Amino acid sequence: MGEIIFLGMLFLACSYLFSLTLSFQTSVLDKSGGAALFPQIVIIFLLVFLALRIILIFRTKEKKPFVFLELFQGMRLFFFTALVLYIVAIKPVGYVISTIIYLLIVINVFYYSTRGNWGNPKSILIRNTCIFAFVFLMNTFFASMLKVLLPQGFLA
């Protein structure tokens, strides 16, 4: 029952955030959907997956106890703390630098926690190069193609 309440709270928070996107300004000349399109797509996906999870919980015969504090232990606590720090740092530091630092730390720590080692030098190089490429491609995609203003931080 606790998980359903928690998922319901997340569902309400997502619904509220979706309602906020409805007031985003859109230019008359903009035919792409404006700045609200991407957040709305993400929020709709979250709402669908939350609804599916709630349905799955009701359909299962064996009910596992939900302990809220388990969300804030071990790797979950690490991820939550890293995410909060990333959100705080993105505006003053900038999208590119904060995202690179966040992804390098989180992905490499998760890799270490699942495999027990950092990997061989080749896999470390490939993994970290992919992170850099991903961040720069996303920056190019959003800033150049979609004309979304991303935080520049102290680089501006």
Name the residue type at position 82. Answer: A
Which position has the higher pLDDT, 30 or 3? Answer: 3
pLDDT at residue 147, rounded to an integer: 82
143, 94 Cβ separation under 8 angstroms: no
Using 50, 70 and 90 to split pLDDT, how confident is the model at 1? low
Average pLDDT over residues 1-17: 88
Q: For 94-118, what is each residue's pLDDT tens digit?
A: 999 999 999 999 999 999 999 999 9
107, 124 Cβ separation under 8 angstroms: no
Three-state DSSP at 137 gives helix
Using 50, 70 and 90 to split pLDDT, how confident is the model at 34? confident
Instruction: Indicate whether 60 pLDDT > 90.
Output: no
> Per-residue DSSP letters for 10-76?
HHHHHHHHHHHHTT----TT--S--TTHHHHHHHHHHHHHHHHHHHHHHH-SSPPPP-GGGGGSHHH
Number of helices followed by number of strands (H, E) in the chain: 5, 0
- List the domain boundaries for the chain: 1-66, 70-156
